[in-house]
């Protein structure tokens, strides 16, 4: 198997891993549209659902010098938000979005990719995405020594302390659904007050 084919397979697995990581062939039905993939996250102690948009991928940090080499595609929709380094790649049958992700990964730039998610099972709602990292607040009575031991126990890295509450930290994770999974697993330890993905959310004018 030549190098070009290996890279293409890797790029394809990257994109499909972002969008439908748990779908099986048995779930595919050509007679009707597939139901959007559903996930959950914890908003404080409330469990909320989100649904994957099967048509879009979010790309972060695309306006750096290295990423300038990634040409805009007809399938790319730029958005006007408070985070101008976010854009959406539309998933097309002719795999142009796969080529875009592949080019970005191959050139070693600092782009991060995430599925696009919604708070309802519809692609028309406000968009969410997962640029990476998790917001965590430890219990109020935990000492610094106990917090440090907890990070070491779970092999997690605190990028910085947060000021919105005592014992709050930003924990390092990869972008995409990995950050959602890690946030859920942290909350379910019972050791924290909250653990939430570091959501990017579309800003809609009122």
Domain-embedded: residue 45: no
pLDDT tens series, the chain, 206 aa: 544 444 444 344 444 455 444 333 333 445 555 677 999 999 999 999 999 999 999 988 744 443 433 333 333 333 333 344 788 888 865 555 445 554 544 455 567 899 999 999 988 889 999 999 999 999 999 999 999 999 999 999 999 999 888 999 999 999 999 999 999 999 999 999 999 999 999 887 66
Tokens of 112: 């991060």
Pairing of strands 46-60, 38-43: antiparallel
Instruction: Tell me what pLDDT residue 200 has.
Output: 94
Which of 129, 145, 170 finishes a domain? 129
166 and 190 inside one domain: yes
Which of 129, 150, 180 finishes a domain? 129
12 and 100 inside one domain: yes
Domain-embedded: residue 62: yes
144 and 119 inside one domain: no
Domain count, the chain: 2
Strand partners, 118: 51
Instruction: Tell me what pLDDT residue 141 has.
Output: 93
Q: Which parts of the chain are beta strand (E)?
A: 38-43, 46-60, 76-78, 86-90, 112-118, 128-129, 134-138, 158-162, 168-171, 192-197, 200-201
Instruction: Tell me what pLDDT residue 73 has.
Output: 38
Tokens of 85: 């380094």
């Amino acid at each position: 198997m030549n190098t070009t084919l290996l890279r293409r397979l890797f790029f394809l697995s990257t994109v499909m891993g972002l969008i439908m990581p748990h779908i099986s062939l048995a779930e595919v039905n050509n007679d009707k549209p597939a139901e959007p993939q559903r996930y959950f996250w914890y908003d404080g102690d409330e469990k909320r659902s989100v649904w994957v948009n099967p048509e879009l991928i979010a790309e972060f940090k695309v306006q750096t010098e290295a990423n300038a080499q990634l040409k805009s595609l007809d399938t790319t929709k730029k958005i006007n938000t408070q985070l101008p380094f976010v854009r959406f790649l539309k998933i097309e049958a002719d795999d142009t979005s796969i080529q875009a992700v592949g080019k970005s990964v191959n050139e070693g730039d600092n782009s991060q990719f995430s599925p696009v998610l919604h708070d309802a099972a519809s692609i028309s709602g406000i968009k969410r995405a997962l640029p990476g990292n998790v917001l965590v607040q430890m219990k109020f009575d935990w000492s610094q020594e106990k917090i440090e031991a907890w990070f070491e126990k779970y092999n997690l890295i605190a990028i910085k302390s947060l000021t919105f509450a005592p014992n709050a930290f930003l924990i390092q994770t990869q972008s995409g659904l990995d950050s959602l999974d890690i946030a859920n697993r942290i909350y379910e330890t019972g050791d924290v007050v909250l653990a939430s993905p570091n959501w990017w959310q579309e800003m809609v004018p009122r």
